[in-house]
Structure 1
Amino acid sequence: MTTNTTIKRTLVLAGLTAAAGIAALAGGTAAQAAATPSVYASHGAVYVKQAGHTTRLTSDDVNKQPALSPDATQIAYVHNDTVWVMNLDGSGQHQVSDRTGSAPAWDASGVRLTYTATSCTGAPGTFRTGTNGGDTSEVLAPTACVSQDAPQVGYIMG
């Protein structure tokens, strides 16, 4: 066997091995993506889609903007213009914001949420709260409002 033939066979085998590794990696990523639930809102209801099955999680039609927690066990969402949290199966629905708000987003730890609400200037601001409910929201922005108490509002239930 000549050196050129040996080099060609080695390169072909290495290429096939690399291609198989890439295919396995892509397959693993696709399998992981299929196992990760997705959440969405449609016509005022929150749904979860997991393993090819879709389940409606909320019984009324006043819900929007669901956001899946980093560990995929909870969902933050807007219910009647306040921020709520529930478990992935729809249980444990409870309000966490102490004011009207929108656009809930999880922090990396999955322990706190940020959301948008009216700030001390009357313009939209960013607030942070815990996920258990009953906490006073912390003002994050605008900067002019950080040192001031958040505008007082009632704790809206419903």
Structure 2
Amino acid sequence: MNRNTVTRTLVLAGLTAAAGIAATVGATAASAATTPTVYASHGAVYVKQAGHTTRLTADEVSKQPTLSPDATQIAYVHNDTIWVMNLDGTQQHQVSDRAGSKPAWDASGVRITYTATSCTGAPGTFRTGVNGGDTSEVLAPSACVTQDAPLVGFIMG
């Protein structure tokens, strides 16, 4: 191979790599543009998607919305308990059996962890399913894991 052939090969390889990077960046930007954004404002939960914003909750007692990994559901705090709803605002239902905050989805999208008062009286970490009606599992602090969680009822509202 002579020097001109090597130079042309490297230039073509560089252009191909640059084109691949541009395609990846473009696809990522397009994906980000279609991924909905959820947020709370003045106690209501909203979703912004494709340039349109829709209010999802009717009252002003909701906060801390977080989108599920598959972007089909939203976990949020409603009246100090953890709730889940579909991305379009339908099927709103309570999933925690105690007052809590900071809902976070697991990677599978079938469980939610949240912070609530533990057996020690300090904040603890609990986990529940997305369908509701289940007793929350204590994850932390470690002193509370082997104990039953403090008995509470569903706080509907």
TM-score range, shorter chain: over 0.9
* 2:21 aligned residue: 22
* 2:40 aligned residue: 41
Q: How does 1:1-150 map to 2 (within 5 A)?
A: 3-150=2-149
Post-superposition offset of 1:108: 1.3
Structure 2 regions of 5+ residues with no counterpart? none
Deviations 1:39-97 (A, max 9, x none): 11111111111112111111111111111111111000000100000000000001111
Distance 1:95 1:106 in 2: 15
In the superposition, the TM-score normalised over structure 2's length comes to 0.96
Where 1:117 maps in the other structure, the secondary structure is: strand
Structure 1 regions of 5+ residues with no counterpart? none
Task: Give the RMSD, CA atoms, in angstroms.
Answer: 1.2
Distance 1:18 1:96 in 2: 48
Post-superposition offset of 1:113: 0.8
Identity of aligned residues (%): 83
The alignment covers a number of residue pairs equal to 157
* 1:157 aligned residue: 156
Off by >2 Å, runs of 4+ in structure 1: none
Q: Which amino acid aligns with 1:126?
A: T
Q: Which amino acid aligns with 1:44?
A: G
Where 1:30 maps in the other structure, the secondary structure is: helix
In the superposition, the TM-score normalised over structure 1's length comes to 0.95
Post-superposition offset of 1:9: 1.7
Post-superposition offset of 1:152: 1.3
Where 1:61 maps in the other structure, the secondary structure is: coil
Distance 1:77 1:39 in 2: 10
Q: Which amino acid aligns with 1:94?
A: H
Distance 1:62 1:53 in 2: 23
